[in-house]
Amino acid sequence: MKKTVLIERKTPVVGIPRALLYYRYAALWETYFRELGIKTVLSPPTSRQILEDGAAMAVDETCLSVKIFYGHVKALIGKCDFIFVPRIATFGLRREMCIRFSALYDQTRNVFRETHQRFLSYNLDANENIDQEKAFLNMGETLALGYSPAELKKAYAAAEKADQRAWREKLRAQEQILKSKGLKILLVGHPYILDDPYLGRPITDFLRSMDVLPLRADIVNRDTAIKRSLDVSPSCKWEVNRELLGGVEMLKKEVDGVILVSAFPCGPDAMTNDLVTRKVKDVPLLNLVMDTQTGSAGTETRLESFVDIIRLKKGVL
């Protein structure tokens, strides 16, 4: 007589680096894995240690944000079965992601090839007719844990819903600030710089300590932003920078100053920051470039004097 054996489905632990597009897709990614019963671990917030670890592994020409990303990947090694590194290439014509995101999965695997770490990825590429949903379904299959297509579809639907909910929450918070009274400054930068606790958060905190209300060019209705960006540049091909260009157009009349925040070196920002500098008239504008420097004095001097200039202009200093 044959014995019946129960096979337990052992789900892996997935590590998510708290860097780059995590700041855009946190709710989407975390909900998707949770729906499938997969545990996730998040790398700790960026610290000087993470930045230095990452910079030591990256080629010099890579941007600061990718260097930080490698530091986060390193922090996850040994803490999970898979490290999650999606490849997000393009959403369509003139809706491309920076080339770094197309290369991220392959590059990361190569940088960490000696650790024998396993990586998990999804490939979003409109040129191959793979949209976000399809990318997620494909990834679910590569997990090879016996999820049925229906289970995967359901998990994705829940993830997308959570993503939209989180996004609406952000929009609402920004709406609140817009309605408040006070000195408003628009921050223009990628979320992975502005939201990073080591890079961008100190800027927001410092502005708040000076009683400034910081607004964000990336937290606006994305469809409207993409449309408005066409007025500024018909040919810009970068999706996120398009959103930023449109966001600046939508908000520049509501603010007292504009601060461009970039990591060094950033190709797309190098082009669009120049565009913004020429398009934003009558509003004081500050250009901040973040590098591996540790001192905050330079940044604080620039921010403080920028706010002073605005206050001098308003006659309140």
Instruction: Decide: is 211 part of the binding site for other proteins (CB under 8 A).
Output: no
Q: In whole angstroms, give the CA distance from residue 298 to residue 288.
A: 10
Instruction: Decide: is 208 part of the binding site for other proteins (CB under 8 A).
Output: no
The 3-state DSSP class for residue 132 equals helix
**Sites for other proteins among residues 231-270 (CB under 8 A):** 264
Instruction: Decide: is 55 part of the binding site for other proteins (CB under 8 A).
Output: no
The correct pick among 104, 159, 263, 285 for binding other proteins (CB under 8 A) is: 285
Strand stretches in 112-211, DSSP E = 118-120, 123-125, 183-188
Give whichever of 221 and 292 is closer to other proteins, judged by the CB atom: 292
* 183 contacts 11 by C-beta, under 8 angstroms: no
Residue the block writes with tokens 């600030």: 177
Closest CA to 241 of 92, 96, 28: 96
Give whichever of 149 and 197 is closer to other proteins, judged by the CB atom: 197
Instruction: Decide: is 142 part of the binding site for other proteins (CB under 8 A).
Output: no
We find the least distance from the C-beta atom of residue 283 to other proteins, in angstroms, to be 9
Instruction: Decide: is 50 part of the binding site for other proteins (CB under 8 A).
Output: yes
Helix count and strand count (H, E) for the chain: 12, 10
Q: In whole angstroms, give the CA distance from residue 248 to residue 20.
A: 21
Residue 41, φ and ψ in degrees, nearest 5: -120, 145
Instruction: Decide: is 48 part of the binding site for other proteins (CB under 8 A).
Output: yes
For other proteins (CB under 8 A), the number of binding residues is: 32
Closest CA to 182 of 218, 214, 205: 214
The correct pick among 123, 138, 221, 287 for binding other proteins (CB under 8 A) is: 287
We find the least distance from the C-beta atom of residue 214 to other proteins, in angstroms, to be 18
Closest CA to 33 of 147, 159, 124, 119: 159
Axis-axis angle for helices 48-57, 64-76 (nearest 10): 100
Give whichever of 205 and 223 is closer to other proteins, judged by the CB atom: 205
The correct pick among 170, 198, 213, 224 for binding other proteins (CB under 8 A) is: 198
The correct pick among 1, 235, 315, 316 for binding other proteins (CB under 8 A) is: 315
The 3-state DSSP class for residue 214 equals strand
We find the least distance from the C-beta atom of residue 287 to other proteins, in angstroms, to be 6
Strand stretches in the chain, DSSP E = 13-16, 39-42, 82-84, 87-90, 118-120, 123-125, 183-188, 212-216, 257-263, 285-290
We find the least distance from the C-beta atom of residue 305 to other proteins, in angstroms, to be 4
Give whichever of 250 and 276 is closer to other proteins, judged by the CB atom: 276
Binding window for other proteins (CB under 8 A); candidates: 107-115, 122-130, 138-146, 306-314: 306-314
Give whichever of 123 and 292 is closer to other proteins, judged by the CB atom: 292
Binding window for other proteins (CB under 8 A); candidates: 126-134, 150-158, 184-192, 307-315: 307-315
Listing DSSP states for 63-127 in one string gives -HHHHHHHHHHHHHTTS-SEEE--EEEESSTT-BPPHHHHHHHHHHHHHTGGGT-EEE--EEEGG
Instruction: Decide: is 304 part of the binding site for other proteins (CB under 8 A).
Output: yes
List C-alpha distances in Å: 301 to 49, 207, 209, 281: 25, 12, 14, 23
**Sites for other proteins among residues 97-116 (CB under 8 A):** none
Residues with Cβ within 8 Å of residue 281, at least 6 apart in sequence = none
Instruction: Decide: is 309 part of the binding site for other proteins (CB under 8 A).
Output: yes
The correct pick among 40, 47, 138, 221 for binding other proteins (CB under 8 A) is: 47
Q: Which residues bind other proteins (CB under 8 A)?
A: 44, 47-50, 198, 202, 264, 274, 277-278, 284-289, 291, 294, 296-297, 301-302, 304-306, 308-309, 312-313, 315, 317
